[in-house]
Structure 1
């Protein structure tokens, strides 16, 4: 039952936001009593915490699968972008923003976990790009990996990029191209151009 509650709560939170969805909403959706939820979670904060880290683990599994099967590191980043947007329902409820605003401690924990995961994954991807001649030999892998995380986190800050002006898919797509154009070789640029043309058409 605990996993079913997490699964349903995750779906509701991603669609409507952490703030909007109540314990009553979750109970009604599952046709169970609110008491049943409280058997497994002492309060909404504990449920939000469990859901947040469950989503994080599922996203990590998906990213690992992509990293193991992608043809090259450029394809990998575009595949990860599509997977994350689809899994997080295009971030239409602004989950990261709401988490930071209403559950700051959970947001801080999540950010640290995200950094550890993304930093390691991006460093490996960058090195692979260098080794295969798609990324420039001279790039500072450690610096770029940290900048990539900082940028991906930054575009989700609605005070700088309000969602009524910037669609999340547009932001991620634009940042991805911005990031890659700074580090690709001529060989890498040919591959990148095919992706940008596909996304524009």
Structure 2
């Protein structure tokens, strides 16, 4: 079933608006600028979205949704769930510079949008982490006697800090990738079975060398 033309029109505007935000900066772009660059009236833009913050939220949500889909595609052919986890985390690092720039700008200039993106993104990402950990337990890569909710919280918030607040987290002289690899591999070693431990170093070394990057 085809999407209504009205929705397709909105989706196109959202996608193009995100490219404008990325190129010129979220703070600098006004609704007038978006309307002019797209060749539509400012009135149409406001009728469709109401205000800049609504359009901005939809644009950022769509952008991160596409990033999530890309990570899922990259991990779809993984040999096992451990490899899928490392492939997705590696791609997260590849996207981190742009993600950090977007979230930092939202935090400074549009805190309400920042908090909404953070909250809704956290729910989706936590569900994804849970599914992978449960799959890892079922496949014998992770032990079963740990608290899933605590593990998910620790991994998610540590990864988020490295992406969004690296200025507060990273020790001097350590790159974001080095820190991420160390934190993630240490986390998975802590819950891995002997079977899982055999593979963690292999996948870790592939991330360090960058051979898993698309």
Q: Do they superpose with TM above 0.5?
A: yes
Q: 1:184 to 1:194 in 2, by over 3 A?
A: same
The equivalent of 2:11 in structure 1 is 3
The equivalent of 1:111 in structure 2 is 118
The answer to whether the 8 Å contact 2:129/2:152 transfers is yes
Write out aligned runs for 1:87-98 (5 A): 88=95, 90-91=97-98, 94-98=101-105
Q: 1:82 to 1:159 in 2, by over 3 A?
A: closer
The equivalent of 1:177 in structure 2 is 185
The equivalent of 2:3 in structure 1 is none
Deviation, structure 1 residue 50: 1.6
Q: 1:21 to 1:70 in 2, by over 3 A?
A: farther
Q: 1:92 to 1:21 in 2, by over 3 A?
A: farther
Q: TM-score scaled by structure 2?
A: 0.73
The answer to whether the 8 Å contact 2:106/2:113 transfers is yes
Across the aligned residues of Structure 1 and Structure 2, the Cα RMSD in angstroms comes to 3.2
Alignment gaps of 5+ in structure 2: 1-8, 210-214
Alignment gaps of 5+ in structure 1: none
SS at match of 1:74: helix
SS at match of 1:19: coil
The equivalent of 2:131 in structure 1 is 124
The equivalent of 1:146 in structure 2 is 153
Q: Computing the radius of gyration over CA atoms, which structure comes out larger, 1 or 2?
A: 2
The answer to whether the 8 Å contact 1:15/1:89 transfers is no
Q: Is 1:54 the counterpart of 2:62 in the alignment?
A: yes
CA distance in 1, matches of 2:104, 2:175: 14
Deviation, structure 1 residue 100: 2.0
The equivalent of 1:77 in structure 2 is 85
Q: 1:168 to 1:31 in 2, by over 3 A?
A: farther
Q: 1:91 to 1:28 in 2, by over 3 A?
A: same
Q: TM-score scaled by structure 1?
A: 0.77
Q: Is 1:102 the counterpart of 2:102 in the alignment?
A: no
Number of residue-to-residue matches in the alignment: 199
